[in-house]
Amino acid sequence: MSAISSTMNPTAIKESDMPEADPKKAPIERPADTVIEEGKTVGVPLSDDPKFQLRNVEVFYGETPAIKNISLDIARNEVIAFIGPSGCGKSTFLRCLNRMNDSIDSCRIKGSLQLDGQDIYDSKRDVVELRARVGMVFQKPNPFPKSIYDNVAYGPRIHGLANRKSDLDDIVENSLRKAGLWNEAKDRLDAMATGMSGGQQQRLCIARAIAVSPEVVLMDEPCSALDPIATARIEELIAELSESYTIVIVTHSMQQAARVSNRTAYFHLGHLVEVNDTSKVFTMPEHELTESYITGRFG
């Protein structure tokens, strides 16, 4: 146990510690005896065939703890969804997996994070190689202000994946096909990517991520900026991609988590409360907090 947690003694967060709710608003119902034990996760957090082995992970922004002692395995070729109320640390945790938190000066990470048995945060670790293996799709579509072709070819070019122009063409075509964008984009590969619709842009970002043949794709609320039709399209895509990639998806939509994932992890105030098979989480959650959240009583 770290010095910080022992002085602040947040090992158990009780309902009575929470600020009182405004009586005019719908009351936040939470069982009075609900206790989160730090480091204790109900359900099945571990796996026999882990891609990621994450043990006792703690993340701090300055002195503020954002992730409190989380241990979790992410299995090979599974789709795991991170759900939880805003500010619960799920995005922070996701960004630890490809070290995207490195660029935040105040961010400190403790614990052991391993990808295929190798430490992600080892000082000798090559971040470039790590990120080539663990790709990421962001909340807001962020295509580069370049042509569609150049967007997809960006990763292969910097990693030297293609020796000839025709190889690169093949990679671009394959990636766009996998992302379900080829038919829409094949006639305008030279057009600016920023001119596409939001849903197309997000699929382009997925194509861009898979063009470097990653093993894992991290998705940080990939559909939150999209309309329902574009969302359905992306969800189909996730199902197709799950055959060849390990996918970690953060989402605010419980229906989405239920539709696309094999396992679901529920985060609460920096704790990992419950991890279970998705069907189990949404039918008979083991933890009271999970139940409250998925039934919409708070969050």
Partner 1 sequence: MQTADLLPLVLVLAAVAYGFAYMRSRAVAAPLGGIRNLKALPAYYAARAALWCAIPALIILGTWAAFEGKVIQDVVMASLPAELAPQSAGHASLTLSQISNLAAGKLDPAMVPDGISGAAALLQELREQSSRFKALLVILIAVLGGAFAWTRVAPHINARKSVERTLQRLFFVCAAVAILTTIGIVFSVIFETVRFFGKVPMSEFLFGTSWSPQTALRADQIGSEGAFGIIPLFTGTLMISAIALLIAVPVGLLSAVYLSEYASRPVRAVVKPLLEMLAGVPTVVYGFFAALTVAPFIRDLALMLGLEASSQSALAAGLVMGIMIIPFVSSLSDDVINAVPRALRDGSLALGATQSETMKNVIFPAALPGIMGGILLAASRAIGETMIVVMAAGLAANLTANPLDSVTTVTVQIVTLLTGDQEFDSAKTLAAFALGMMLFIVTLLLNVIALKVVRKYREQYD
Taking the complex as a whole, how short is the minimal distance between the CB of residue 108 and partner 1, in angstroms?
16
Nearer to partner 1, 17 or 126 (CB): 126
Nearer to partner 1, 11 or 224 (CB): 224
The reply on whether position 196 binds partner 1 by CB under 8 A is: no
The reply on whether position 175 binds partner 1 by CB under 8 A is: no
The reply on whether position 158 binds partner 1 by CB under 8 A is: yes
Among 145, 167, 197, 244, binds partner 1 (CB under 8 A): 145
The reply on whether position 199 binds partner 1 by CB under 8 A is: no
Among 205, 247, 250, 289, binds partner 1 (CB under 8 A): 205
The reply on whether position 128 binds partner 1 by CB under 8 A is: yes
Among 55, 146, 177, 297, binds partner 1 (CB under 8 A): 146
The reply on whether position 209 binds partner 1 by CB under 8 A is: yes
Among 43, 45, 143, 199, binds partner 1 (CB under 8 A): 143
The reply on whether position 155 binds partner 1 by CB under 8 A is: yes
DSSP the chain: --HHHHHH--SB--GGGSPPPPTTSPP----TT--PBTT--EE----SSEEEEEEEEEEEETTEEEEEEEEEEEETT-EEEEE-STTSSHHHHHHHTTTGGGG-TTEEEEEEEEETTEETT-TT--HHHHHHHEEEE-SS----SSBHHHHHHHHHHHTT--SSHHHHHHHHHHHHHHTT-HHHHGGGTTSBGGGS-HHHHHHHHHHHHHTT--SEEEEESTTTTS-HHHHHHHHHHHHHHTTTSEEEEE-S-HHHHHHH-SEEEEEETTEEEEEEEHHHHHHS-SSHHHHHHHTTS--
Taking the complex as a whole, how short is the minimal distance between the CB of residue 230 and partner 1, in angstroms?
18
The reply on whether position 299 binds partner 1 by CB under 8 A is: no
Taking the complex as a whole, how short is the minimal distance between the CB of residue 135 and partner 1, in angstroms?
7
CB under 8 A: which stretch of 41-49, 84-92, 100-108, 260-268 binds partner 1? 100-108
Contact 131, 99 (CB under 8 A): yes
Nearer to partner 1, 130 or 230 (CB): 130
Q: Which residues contact 28 (CB under 8 A, 6 or more apart)?
A: 21, 297, 298
Q: Give residues in contact with partner 1 (CB under 8 A).
A: 98, 100, 103, 105, 127-132, 135-136, 138, 140, 142-146, 154-155, 158-159, 194, 205, 208-209, 212
